[in-house]
Structure 1
Amino acid sequence: MFKTRHAVPGSAPGTLTLPAPASPAPKPKICLVEYDAGNLVEREIVNPAELIEQLNSSKVSWINIDGITDLECLEALGKHFNLHPLALEDVLHTGQRPKVEPYSDYLFIVAHMVYQDKKGRICGEQVSFFLGENYLITVQEEADYDVFNPVRERLRAGRGIIRTAQADYLAYALLDSIIDHYFPVLDEISNAIEDLEDELLERPDRSMVMKLHEHRRSLTQLRRYVWPLRDVVNGLLHDHTGLIKEPTKIFLRDCYDHTVQLMDFVESYKEITTGLMELYHSSVGLRTNEVMRVLTVITAIFIPLTFIAGVYGMNFAPDPPEHRGLPLNMPELYEPHGYIIVMVAMLLIAVAQLFFFRWKKWL
């Protein structure tokens, strides 16, 4: 679901190293989007050196890198924009806690993007932002999927104020898109939990416990991302570097409200899964009690019958060898219909017990 890459233990701070991939990693996709109020240029970049040459300082530049398998590209960007090696190291070593760090002339922001892949599985990846005065660099882990297409469409169509605003508004729009895409993921989890609740009430099964644990694990992971993401937005709201303009902070307030709402959803869904786990154990306990009650009733019915059958199975001799009567032995053994009489008596005892259990509401 979520991948984490750590630095080599004992390595020097700011060391840029790539993890050894299990298979040959594809080259990252680099896209350069430059725009102002009247024009927008979108290019696919192959060579990192070519990227630096094509930057236009008079426009807002958005450099999006899909994939973290090219050290040359990151080092070139770090040298051109004076990016700190520690920030570049956090880009490569994913699994960072969402955060915002101010540097001399840019902000370094880490967030986690969550989405569903083509198979419906919940996936997540780290997105790193370098926000300068007139540029924004975003670095994603994977190249297959992201949640930025609505922002790209707004840029191409020139809808809203995104083309007239600065790079800080673009950073807000991308961050807002990341936050908004948590909602459909949580909706899917909510629908799955509701279906499990209905099944638990009708026919509890052990496989449902595994599904509940999977949902709890997903919610715990989402909580790890949403909780600090709220602090990230709050940090941007109280930015003192001047990179976040006052008009953009108004929009960030709405973004902050969305993170609070997400936290409420995550916490409430976790409580629901806890309640469903207790409901499962209660349902299993009730079913076990019902089974034990029926078995106890059956056992209670057969106890006197077993006693009678055991007594008559003692094989007392009806007559002594001298053919004299034994009055202290079982008199029924001398009766021609003794077997029928005993069986009817046993049946009457069983029926009487059933009525007694019904009267006591044990059945």
Structure 2
Amino acid sequence: MQLSIIGYDPSGAWMRQAGTMEELLGYRSSGGITWINVNGLKDCGEALSRLSETYGVHPLTLEDILNTEHRPKVEEFDDYIFITFKLIKANSERRIEIEQVSIILTKDTVITFQESHGPFFEPIRRRILGNVGRIRKMGSDYLAYAIMDSVIDGYFVALDDIGTKIEDFEDRAILDNDASFIPDLQDMKQLLLKIRRIVWPLRENLSSLQRMETPLVNENLDPFLKDLYDNVLQAAETVETYRELLSGVLEVNMSAVSNRMNSVMKVLTIISTIFIPITFIVGVYGMNFSNMPELDYPYAYYVTWGVMFVIVIGMIVYFKRKKWI
């Protein structure tokens, strides 16, 4: 578990790292906005209990924070608003990773909880410490918005990577020697379904946050929340588009497999058709009747071969005229 705290106001900002929750809480200042970040949720139950005592966090909220499989939601309490949602990112190996992020928003404090270690919020820290943009002039609700906006912007980066993989699937759909195509396609469909379950509830949660009548969210934040809602809606529509594209890719693959099978069956049928009259001739002259007139003819063997050869050539020419081959 890594603990950090940032304090700021329009005139300045500072940041501290802490080894324990007691040390971190000792850095709190009475003025300005405070941002506490808990990075990593393993073996941190005692630290979170100490934090909840200080800020009056309900035990059920702590359970939701520690339950990393929880679906996105927004809850309003007397002294704070609790927001939990998912972070979606592509790692260095182009694999999509999903982790939970939780936010507790109070009047002058924002507490964030990341499921695993990572510098995902580093750009926001640089904006605060470098006094870039409007963040140091706004309240704690704007900081919570900035954190959510950073996470949702990451959705589009991950979705762009997924879009590139879907383009690869389109190229692979017509190959006949790609044994891993179907398993990879199914994995991608499962991933998109998981992302859909993340994005769609968040859309409803942002709508609920906009409608909340609470002093913790200033009405000046409404345009920013509206923009956030539009971004989530766009991400949700992109997920649906990708799911439809994958269904189309699967249909293309099934059509390609069917066409290859039809081609194979066509060749086999033509070969069988050609051999039917030849087999008939061989069968007739393989009956070994003593009174068959051609048996005593000295050139019967060669004539039989000639007749079979002429039949084969004639059938091939006929098939080509009919454009069957």
Please report the TM-score for the alignment, with normalisation by the length of structure 1: 0.87
Identity of aligned residues (%): 41
Give the aligned partner of residue 255 of structure 2: 282
Give the aligned partner of residue 352 of structure 1: 314
CA distance in 2, matches of 1:218, 1:123: 10
Matched ranges for 1:199-214 at <5 A:
199-203=172-176, 205-214=178-187
Moved over 4 A (4+): none
Give the aligned partner of residue 20 of structure 1: none
CA distance in 2, matches of 1:204, 1:179: 38
Q: Which amino acid aligns with 2:299?
A: H
Give the aligned partner of residue 117 of structure 1: 91
Give the aligned partner of residue 14 of structure 1: none
Note if 1:75 corresponds to 2:37. no
2:134 to 161, 169, 194: 161
CA distance in 2, matches of 1:117, 1:202: 28
Larger Rg computed on CA atoms = 1
- 1:310-332: per-residue Cα shift (whole Å, max 9, x none)? 11112223xxxxxxxxxxx3222
Give the aligned partner of residue 8 of structure 1: none
Q: Which amino acid aligns with 1:138?
A: T
Kindly indicate whether the alpha-carbon contact (under 8 Å) linking 1:204 and 1:284 is maintained by their aligned counterparts in 2.
Answer: no
Matched ranges for 1:1-363 at <5 A:
28-68=1-41, 69-143=43-117, 145-203=118-176, 205-317=178-290, 329-363=291-325
Give the CA deviation at 1:112.
0.4
Aligned with 1:237: secondary structure? helix
For the aligned residue pairs, the C-alpha RMSD in angstroms reads 1.2
Q: Greater helix percent: which structure?
A: 2
Q: Please identify, of 145-154 and 183-192, the stretch whose mean Cα deviation from structure 2 is larger.
A: 145-154
CA distance in 1, matches of 2:194, 2:30: 39
Give the CA deviation at 1:357.
1.6
CA distance in 1, matches of 2:253, 2:235: 27
- 1:295-320: per-residue Cα shift (whole Å, max 9, x none)? 00000000110111111112223xxx
Kindly indicate whether the alpha-carbon contact (under 8 Å) linking 2:4 and 2:24 is maintained by their aligned counterparts in 1.
Answer: no
CA distance in 2, matches of 1:239, 1:83: 19
Give the CA deviation at 1:99.
0.7
Q: Please identify, of 200-209 and 334-343, the stretch whose mean Cα deviation from structure 2 is larger.
A: 200-209
For structure 1, list consecutive stretches of 5 or more residues without a partner in the other structure. 1-27, 318-328
Give the CA deviation at 1:254.
0.8
CA distance in 2, matches of 1:266, 1:36: 39
Kindly indicate whether the alpha-carbon contact (under 8 Å) linking 1:110 and 1:128 is maintained by their aligned counterparts in 2.
Answer: yes
Kindly indicate whether the alpha-carbon contact (under 8 Å) linking 1:112 and 1:124 is maintained by their aligned counterparts in 2.
Answer: yes
Q: Which amino acid aligns with 1:112?
A: K
Q: Which amino acid aligns with 2:10?
A: A
Aligned residues between the structures: 324
Kindly indicate whether the alpha-carbon contact (under 8 Å) linking 1:34 and 1:60 is maintained by their aligned counterparts in 2.
Answer: yes
For structure 2, list consecutive stretches of 5 or more residues without a partner in the other structure. none
Kindly indicate whether the alpha-carbon contact (under 8 Å) linking 1:33 and 1:41 is maintained by their aligned counterparts in 2.
Answer: yes
Q: Which amino acid aligns with 2:97?
A: C
Kindly indicate whether the alpha-carbon contact (under 8 Å) linking 1:48 and 1:76 is maintained by their aligned counterparts in 2.
Answer: yes
CA distance in 2, matches of 1:314, 1:149: 90
Aligned with 1:125: secondary structure? strand
Please report the TM-score for the alignment, with normalisation by the length of structure 2: 0.97
Aligned with 1:206: secondary structure? coil
Aligned with 1:30: secondary structure? strand
Give the CA deviation at 1:170.
0.4
Kindly indicate whether the alpha-carbon contact (under 8 Å) linking 1:61 and 1:134 is maintained by their aligned counterparts in 2.
Answer: yes
Kindly indicate whether the alpha-carbon contact (under 8 Å) linking 1:204 and 1:280 is maintained by their aligned counterparts in 2.
Answer: no
Give the CA deviation at 1:204.
6.4
Kindly indicate whether the alpha-carbon contact (under 8 Å) linking 2:90 and 2:161 is maintained by their aligned counterparts in 1.
Answer: no
CA distance in 2, matches of 1:249, 1:129: 18
Q: Which amino acid aligns with 2:92?
A: K
Kindly indicate whether the alpha-carbon contact (under 8 Å) linking 1:113 and 1:147 is maintained by their aligned counterparts in 2.
Answer: no
